[in-house]
Amino acid sequence: EQKKESAEKAKVAVLAEDSDVCLLAGKAEEGGVWYFDSGATSHMTNDASILEKLDGSSESTILLADGKSTKAVGMGTGRLISVDGDGIRKNVTLANVYHVPSLAGNLLSVSKIADLGFEVVFDKAGCKVLKQIPEQALLVGAKHGDSCLHLWHRRLGHRDPEAVLKIVRDGLGHGLKLDRCDVESVCGS
């Protein structure tokens, strides 16, 4: 239980340890409806009652999608209850939520969620926030065929590739066949 509370404080969107889905759009049960907004640079709410630690000195001008501007009269920590992918109610904590009384609803910033390492997925069923963004590949291994020059180079004790080609060209290697290989490779030996 204490580990879970620590995790909730460490991450801004919290969610089930046993589920990959953190938050589903349109399922917020408290604090009104929250809309995922890919253009929003911050989370925003029109309802001060869902904000804890509301700091009234954090006033800001918010530029809206229609080009108009409005005022944020403060910033706090937002709390809402949502339903995860398994239908389980989860507390969600959002840091740095602007209080913008003139907004018609509540906005979740897709970019802020992504900055925390979550993945926001839109599909025909709606929108989901997933716990982890798949790791980006640091290295990609290319597969060489069974008759690739690079493979025969290694099989023959790192023989010079030109020598391997000559063996095949001159018919000196019984059963040795080379296929075209599109992978450029430099031997480290």
Residue 98 amino acid letter: Y
Write the pLDDT tens digit of every residue in 17-48. Answer: 333 444 444 434 445 677 888 888 889 898 88
Contact criterion met (CB below 8 Å) for 12 and 94: yes
- Whole-number percent of the chain with pLDDT over 70: 66
Residue 42 CA to residue 145 CA, distance in Å, equals: 50
pTM exceeds 0.85 for this model: no
Write the pLDDT tens digit of every residue in 94-130. Answer: 889 999 998 888 888 888 888 887 777 777 666 777 7
Which distant-in-sequence residues (6+ apart) come within 8 Å of 7 by Cβ?
14, 17
Helix (H, G, I), strand (E, B) or coil at 74: strand
Give the dihedral of Cα atoms 75, 76, 81, 85; nearest 10 deg.
Answer: 70
Domains in the chain with CATH codes: 2-130 (2.40.70), 141-189 (no CATH)
- Measured CA distances, 9 to 4, 13, 84, 132 (Å): 9, 9, 19, 17
